[in-house]
Amino acid sequence: MAGPVRAAQYVRMSTEHQQYSTENQTDAMRRYGEARCMEIVRTYSDAARSGLNLEGRDGLRELLRDVESGRADYTDILVYDVSRWGRFQDADESAYYEYICKRANIRVHYCAEQFENDGSLSSLLKTIKRTMAGEYSRELSVKVFAGQCRLIELGFRQGGPAGYGFRRQLVDRDRNPKGLLLAGEHKSIQTDRVILVPGPEDEIGVVKEVYDRFTRDRRTEGEIALWLNARGVLTDLGRTWTRGTVHQLLTNPKYAGANVYNRRSFKLKRKRVKNPPEIWVRREGAFKPIVTMEQFAEALAIVASRHQHFTEDQLLVCLKKLLSRFGTLSGILIDETEDMPSSTVYRHRFGSLIRAYELIGYTPVPAAPQ
């Protein structure tokens, strides 16, 4: 008498609904398997992972590697439903990963769906379900973005460290202070919010002096970094100062009290893009400023004036000289090199750093796999 069918199960949980907890998924798949004389011999899991693509989904990646290499010691794969397999924005991508399994004679079962994955009507239903799963993510992205924009307009902070000279203040729904959040701490009550407040007096003094040296004394970011390091002043991350970190302090509008959002977009795990100022979400006077708006505007004007005279050809010449000097290029290297236009200038003029690199015949070396 033949033994039970050997099966693997794949579980994925993001943060969407309790119904998709790993326990609920495994219970459903266990019942499904028992009804069909299946023995679950392997579990692949991706906890707290988005289903938009394969990035970060080590469980599904491992499953596909085992299937393609012939290491899989099972003939069936159990998944809770189509959306747990993934909410890929291209329904064909989801189908392709299932096809990899089918090509290896391993069948995928969607245990909570109201159809058998037998290649008949299920093919049409799967296509619809895959499209719906992707559309769910698109709709959710729009709603989340609208909610974040509303909170920015109300003056609340949306993620990220406070930055040197500031601290994150937790407030309740009526804006009553509840305490400062330490590094790594997050709010635990959904209705609570976070605002920025000035930090210790010594940090505030450093920020003001940095702006004075830049706008009044016309010191460069590199010179200011050397001055800070000579005094033993560390950044908010406990590191020494560089040209780039000083530049960031001088160009971030939060130091003038403004709350700015959507300067860059990375929606649906797609290409990160820099947005034009006209679609930024901005709230003036959201936080207590450390420097005046006039001094902040003066700092921005100094930064802008340094690069207005560069033609595209001149920018590429600078890039070639930097490549010749170091043998490599990166956004960080560009920003840390004195008298070099910032990486932002190259992105603005050429559309991306990669495009600028192509124009001087440089191809970045891909990062080594982890």
- Between 118 and 288, where is the model more confident? 288
Residue 124 pLDDT grade (very low, low, confident, very high; cuts 50, 70, 90): confident
Mean pLDDT of 133-140: 72
At which residue do the structure tokens 């919010």 appear?
193
Q: Once rounded to an integer, what is the mean pLDDT over residues 88-116? A: 90
Q: Mean pLDDT across the stretch 145-154?
A: 79
pLDDT average, residue stretch 148-152: 80
Q: Give backbone dihedrals phi and psi of 23, rounded to 5 degrees, phi first.
A: -65, -45
CB 211 within 8 A of CB 224: no
Rounded average pLDDT over 99-110: 94
Higher pLDDT, 266 or 171: 171
Is residue 286 a contact partner of residue 195, using CB atoms and an 8 Å limit? Answer: yes
Q: Tell me the mean pLDDT in the region 106-134.
A: 82
Residue 266 has pLDDT above 70, yes or no: no
108: confidence class by pLDDT, cuts 50, 70, 90: very high
Query: Which residue type does 250 have?
Result: L
Please provide the average confidence, as pLDDT, over all residues in the chain.
86
272 SS3 class? coil
Structure tokens at 298: 């003066």
**Nearest in space to 211 (alpha carbons), one of 226, 195, 224:** 224
Region 239-247 average pLDDT = 92
Which position has the token pair 């989904």? 57
Query: Would you kindly state where each structural domain of the chain is located, as residue ranges?
Result: 5-139, 309-370
Q: What is the signed CA dihedral for 331, 336, 338, 342, rounded to 10 degrees?
A: 30
Task: Give the pLDDT confidence of 151-194 residue by residue, as tens digits.
Answer: 888 888 887 889 999 999 999 988 899 989 888 788 878 788 99
Residue scoring higher pLDDT (211 or 191): 211
CATH number, span 5-139: 3.40.50.1390
